[in-house]
Amino acid sequence: MRQLRFYVPFQLVDGECLTLPEDVFKHAIKVLRLSVDAEFVLFCGDNREYQVRLASIQKKSAEVKILGSQEVNRESSLKIHLIQSVSKGDRMDFVCQKATELGVYSITPVFTERANVSLAGDRLEKKYNHWKGITTSSCEQCGRNVLPHVHPPEQLQAVLKRFSELEIAKFVLSPTASSQLLDTQKKHREIAVLIGPEGGLSENEVQIAVAAGFQSTLLGPRILRTETAAVTFISLFQGLWGDLT
């Protein structure tokens, strides 16, 4: 049986007693109906797992005691920065979930010309927190003990300018590119990939990316949906240079 795991957003210390955060309390006690003396795992993003025992349950809170911890590293040796155009519907949710499971280091949502998504103010903040919540839940499920960095959504040009200063391998997926992805022979330890929305990146956006040091690359003979392209690219490079061996 898979051991239950919950993320807490604060530092944990061996031997201490602590009150579960409200969201963990609701899930563990109200939904899963764990009882006193039940054991499970907490993690806080420091690449360790903390074995805890449920010590007491009150009406609106519960306390646990940390029995001990150990470093459990499930992070990929390949740092993948995913620059993903914000998409309509639940496509972005899917990308955040699967990219986390596949071990990406960071996710940067970007607004592009053909994205056709209008987000601003409170709605944008709500969406951003929603995506971070998805990556947290995915870490709980897949066993990662370090959360991927989910950056606030930005305009594409600002993100490209920032990445242009990084000396890492950079790719922009384009169905009109002349070079195949697997033409890249040199092994890298850190890469970035830019993936467009449902309608694809405009030719101007591809050219701006190329000027920022991104290699225009073709991912096979078929045009993939934006969420399929993200999962395919990450899986391929985790197999080539990462930990999917």
pLDDT per residue over 106-147, tens digit each? Answer: 999 999 998 877 777 888 899 999 999 999 999 999 999 999
What is the pLDDT averaged over residues 55-70? Answer: 96
pLDDT at 221: 86
Radius of gyration for the chain, computed over Cα atoms and rounded to the nearest angstrom: 20
pLDDT digits (tens, 9 = 90+) for 2-61: 789 999 999 999 999 999 999 999 999 999 999 999 999 999 999 999 999 999 999 999
Ranges for all domains in the chain classified under CATH 3.40.1280.10: 79-240
Q: Which residue has the tokens 């969406």?
A: 127
The CATH number of the domain covering residues in 79-240 = 3.40.1280.10
| Alpha-carbon distances, residue 231 vs 37, 227, 236 (angstroms) | 40, 6, 8
pLDDT for 53: 97
| Residue 183 confidence (pLDDT) above 70 | no
The pTM score is 0.93
Q: Where in the chain is the domain with CATH 2.40.240.20?
A: 5-71
For the beta sheet containing 39-43, the strands, ordered from the edge strand earlier in sequence to the opposite edge, are 5-7, 39-43, 48-57, 62-71, 17-19
Mean pLDDT of 138-165: 96
3-state secondary structure 166-219: CCCEEEEECCCCCCEHHHCCCCCCEEEEEECCCCCCCHHHHHHHHHCCCEEEEC
**How sure is the predictor about 1, in pLDDT bands with cuts at 50, 70 and 90?**
low
Stretch (H or E) spanning 31: none
pLDDT for position 168: 95
The highest-level CATH class for domain 5-71 is: mainly beta
Query: What percentage of residues in the chain have a pLDDT greater than 70?
Result: 98
